Structure 1
Amino acid sequence: MERVTPHNRLLAIEDGESVSMREPVVVESPAVPAPRPMRARLLAAVPVVLVVASILAGTGLRVFAYARNQSLWIDEAMLALNVVYRTSPELLEPLDLNQGAPVGYLLMCKTVTTAFGGSELMLRLPSFVAGLIGLALFVPLAYRALPLAAARAAVILFSLAPYLIGYSAEFKQYGLDATIAVGLMLLGLPVWRSEAGRWRMVALAAGGALAVWFSHPAAFVLGGVGLAALADAAVRRDWPALAARCAVVAAWGVSFATCYFLFTRKLGMNQYLLDYWAGKFMPLPPTRPGDIMWIFHHFFAFFIAPAGFEPDIIHAAGLAGVCFLIGCLAMARADWRLLVATVTPLVLALLASGLHKYPFAGRLLIFAVPAALVVVGYGAVLIAERLEGVARWSGLVFLVALFIAPAHECYMGIKRPIHAEDAREVIAYAHENWQAGDQAYVFYAASAAFEYYQPQYPFPREAVRVGVENRDKDISRFQEELRPFRGQKRVWVLIAHRQSTEEYAIQAYLDGMGKCEEKIRFRDAVVMRYDLR
């Protein structure tokens, strides 16, 4: 429609046309969208608020877990004795007390403790920093790799993953494993999507070559990233890109082979560790029904620990497992490269377990949690969208049910960490109440913590008897160690990392020798004082 103005109205009169001055003037203007109702804008902001709140909560929980500064538990204490009392060159040799960790991680921790001291906080500082970096890196990874809704779900799950939070405050390498996995996937994403320039390729080559010195399972992650990148170039028949990516993988291979034959291979020959992890190696080949059940059981066990979906909360581990499987099927059609990068590391770890080179269990699988949560988030949103088409709000209820399990685990972790073992409190109590002439018996599982805390809580060496390792729970051996205390007025018994059968056996034998004057129980630890006259 023509716009009527005073100028063209005047032209119309001159041409002899009659135009009424009362005729309404019609003016067309560009369509302006109506403002969205306030309720709609608030609803649209809810997902963003939830994501931001989960990131802040995840950061706060990691800071809280670290600042709580709980006592070292047995594995931390044994590793601490190696790092604190060995020189840097000595850390390149097989560790004492059947401990194992990547040489890069050991040297990094040694550098920190040399500069700032060997306190619990300083020993755990690298893991804590790695936990915060991992959270910061996972956000861009999720948003670049996944559709918006799935990215939000994955970020919420990662932020509140209880084992990622717990291991960010422990003096063990597993939290760093997860962060390195996130970093490698973030570096690899533009490569397998053919969006990477020369410098990104160089960064991926250097990052992967360095990663295997700081994380044993980084090799599995590199297997997934490398396979996705090579397959992408091969499918597109981009031979120059394939050659460049082969060079990157070759750099990883040289670095891994060097690290493996110099250091990691020795760890894989430790018979004690092989016996300790017995039952956590996949039957190979899996031909019998029991072998298939082993895989089935360990698949869902992964979503309990370390993925953190508490089984007692609406069978959340099974729910997460189903989301993972649905996510894999959908991702195979929508983004097969991402599927290869995220699932291959778990498959490689499973095969390595079949060769008795890497146990498929618990904390050793922390590295696979970030990739698994990417797939779980993707599958969960797809299921929620289908449910929403069946009944209103059902999709939201499904997502809340999935999120509530790790959130509940985080809440429980505030009250009791993953490894709550108050060896320090037991040792401190005995030290504060020590009198001249007292003697002490240290349970074998508390010996590493006792040795670590000895400078802080000194005891006269001649008055302390440390038990010998007795994982077979041979009662007669405990009795042999306790018999020399007969006739003593004040005998302290320090137990940490306790097993109830061992504690009761020790207490029953001592009750037959004398009288328990004092007994104080802490988390997974107990201190007793006996009069054995």
Structure 2
Amino acid sequence: MLPSPAGAPPKSGRVWPVRRSRPAPLPYWPFAALIIALGVLLRVRQWWFARSFWGDELYVVHNLRDRGYLDLLEPLAFSQTAPPGWLWLERLSLQLFGASEHSLRLVPLLFGLALLPLVGYFGRRLMPPPSALAALLLVAIAPFLVGYSNELKQYSADAFCVTLLVGIALLLSRRELTWRGGVVFWATSLAVLVLSTLAIPVVAALTALLVVHALARPGRDREERLRELVRFVAPAPAWIVVAVWVYVRLLGPGLSDPQLKAYWQGKSIYPAHPLSDVPATVDWIGATYRTLATVPFVVWSVWVAVPLVVVGAVLCWRRLNPLAVFILLAPLAVGLGGAALSIYPFNGRLALYAVPSWLMLAGFAVASPRARQPALGWVGWGAGAALVVAVAVPQLAMDVVVTANPARAFHQGGGANVADYRSALRHLSAELRPGDLVLATPVSWNAQAYYGPPPDGYVVPAEPAGCAGQPVSTLLAGRSRVWLFQATDWDEPQNRDLIVRLGSGGAAVTERTFRGARVVRFDLTGTAAVGDDVCLVPPPRGGGVR
């Protein structure tokens, strides 16, 4: 028998199996870095454009400019509310960099940017690579996560802080609760307490889920479960004390503001009937879904949203555990519960904090199911991927539009957050001549108080009984030109009525429109009485008149 060649297996009757090398796993971080870079580009592009502040942003600006750090711990003026830590960061940015659009939107931008690696990290720790990348992509391109990273409001901080809490809770749900885990959870909860209003109810919901997890863990006797629970909740009293103080002293007065309550009641955000009225409650849930699907989730069809959540929840249940599904749904449940009890207006941008967790759950839809039949596994994966694509495509389309034309931003609330007050008031300043009279509507106060020029008076149409105070005709003697600035995203019927009344008597009227604003010039003829049916009113919110 001839010897076998060197390195060759000996000849025998046994058939040696052929070893097939497994394909290399999908590299996660290189792809994640590209997705994060895309998200950064979308956000920085909007921030760099520095569109005009709109109404609510301007009210926040006035609070920041007029108050010191300690004063910001008092309830805010103009029916605004924001967590104290976020306000202090904004006040610091104003002091360091001035009161420009860039500087005052820097804090929201940084929170929006920080959300991307946060989701990338938790995705890598908790999800299969395809699911983690899908979730990261959906977060990176979500139009309202992009848009509100560039608005002087705390919504991007809410999204970051709530996602951080949810991610930590997911990590804790995979193992025994320990003293160290409890310290991390409660220390993080304390830190975000002053940065996010929504941290308080979300922490409470996550704590309840983790407590149930500790008590229901199989294979443990009662004493072991109680010891585990005590170790986890031991730091909780410190958080409870601070949370109660923050809510009662800082957040509660703002959330109970009567004007805000009336505003949200008028928009039918809360149930109009008791929850025991089942048909009315079902109608309210349907209306809430339709509103949230448009803003901020941007899901165009119930036939996309519901199957996506169901598929993602099933695969998350199998890949992690049932508790993980409830943790990811906790922010959504907190918002819906608060709205059902008429406590929190879970609507539009105020629901933004729940978007990242929902998108992480949606990302599980592209986790290949561990099916015994490979064909069934591929069918399930394909269905999940198709649903994710159906969500991503319209969002990418919105991103392309606003990246090419940042002035459009995102239409919401009648287009209020795309108002261009700045350009309108710059035009007015450039056209003014000595002796011109400048009037404004009361809702325009916040824009003119920031961008200028200051008005000579604020005007409203007279009631049938006439003016309670002084009519504007008393200011018109010797005037040949009168200017009127209007914020057109509010009270537009009244705006048009004012133009008609001031333009009566043969005055020449010239209008220049901007996004969300209008500048009107009246050239008076001097032959007819004008302004007797237009009343001067005090400056709103304590603002001054030059």
Same fold (TM over 0.5): yes
CA 214–32 in structure 1, closer or farther in 2 if over 3 Å, else same? same
Q: How far did 1:351 drift?
A: 2.2
Query: What is the match of residue 4 of structure 2?
Result: 4
Which of 485, 491, 513 does residue 482 from structure 2 map onto?
491
Q: CA deviation at 1:62?
A: 0.4
Distance 1:478 1:30 in 2: 98
CA 1:274/1:506 → structure 2, altered by over 3 Å: closer, same or farther?
same
Q: Which amino acid is the alignment partner of residue 275 of structure 1? A: A
| Aligned equivalent of 2:543 | none
Task: From the superposition, tell whether residues 434 and 501 of structure 1 become closer, same or farther in structure 2 (CA, over 3 Å).
Answer: same
Structure 1: distance between partners of 2:367 and 2:293: 18
Percent sequence identity over aligned pairs = 25
Unpaired stretches in structure 1, ≥5 consecutive residues: 7-23
Q: Could you tell me which amino acid in structure 2 is paired with residue 422 of structure 1? A: D
Aligned to 2:434: 436
- Structure 2 SS opposite 1:277: helix
The residue number in structure 1 matching 2:309 is 324
SS at match of 2:150: coil
1:514 and 1:530 in contact (8 A); partners too: no
Q: Deviations over 1:42-88 (max 9, x none)?
A: xx979988755443221101001111111110000011101111122
Q: CA RMSD in A?
A: 3.8
Whichever of the two has the greater Rg, that structure is 1
Residue 204 (structure 2) aligns with = 223
1:240 shift after superposition: 2.5
Q: How does 1:384-463 map to 2 (within 5 A)?
A: 397-414=386-403, 415=405, 416-418=408-410, 419-454=417-452, 459=453
What is the DSSP-based 3-state SS (H/G/I as helix, E as strand, rest coil) of the residue aligned with 2:484? strand
Deviations 1:311-332 (A, max 9, x none): 3xxx3x5412331234334544
Partner of 1:132: 113
Which residues of structure 2 form unaligned runs of 5+? 411-416, 526-546
Q: Deviations over 1:431-478 (max 9, x none)?
A: 112110111112222210111223xxxx4x5x621347x9x9999889
Conserved 8 A contact 1:201-1:248? yes
- 1:79-109 Cα shifts (integer Å, max 9, x gaps): 1101111122211112111111111211221
Q: Which moved more, 1:294-303 or 1:195-204?
A: 195-204
Q: Secondary structure at the match of 2:241?
A: helix
Q: Which has the higher helix share?
A: 1
2:335 is aligned to 349
Letter in 2 for 1:453: Y
Shift in alpha-carbon separation, 1:243–1:48, aligned structure 2, 3 A: closer
**Aligned counterpart for 2:70 among listed residues 89, 105, 120:** 89
8 Å contact 2:81–2:255 — kept in the other structure? no
Q: Partner residue of 2:523?
A: 531
Of 49, 68, 73, 1:68 maps to 49
Equivalent residue in structure 2 for 1:370, among 339, 356, 365: 356
Partner residue of 2:228 out of 241, 250, 255: 241
CA distance in 1 between partners of 2:465 and 2:54 (Å): 24
One-letter code aligned to 2:447: A
TM-score, with length taken from structure 2 = 0.81
> Residues 272-325 of structure 1: CA distance to partner in whole angstroms, max 9, x if unpaired?
10001112124543433021121122134322211123x3xxx3x541233123
Contact preservation (8 Å) 1:445, 1:498: no
| Equivalent position of 1:122 in the other structure | 103
The code of the aligned residue for 2:304 comes to: L
Return the offset for 1:144: 2.2
Distance, in Å, in 2 between the alignment partners of 1:473 and 1:151 is 61
Distance 1:475 1:140 in 2: 66
Cα pair distance change 1:281/1:116, threshold 3 Å: same
**Cα distance in 2 for residues equivalent to 1:51 and 1:84:** 39
Please state whether the residue corresponding to 1:194 is helix, strand or coil: coil
* 1:375, distance to aligned residue in structure 2 (A): 1.7
**2:298 matched to 1:308?**
yes
Find 1:262's aligned residue among 229, 233, 249.
249
Code of the aligned partner of 1:247 = A
SS in 2 for 1:285: coil
Cα deviation for residue 34 of structure 1 reads 7.8
- Mean alpha-carbon deviation: is it higher for 143-152 or for 165-174? 143-152
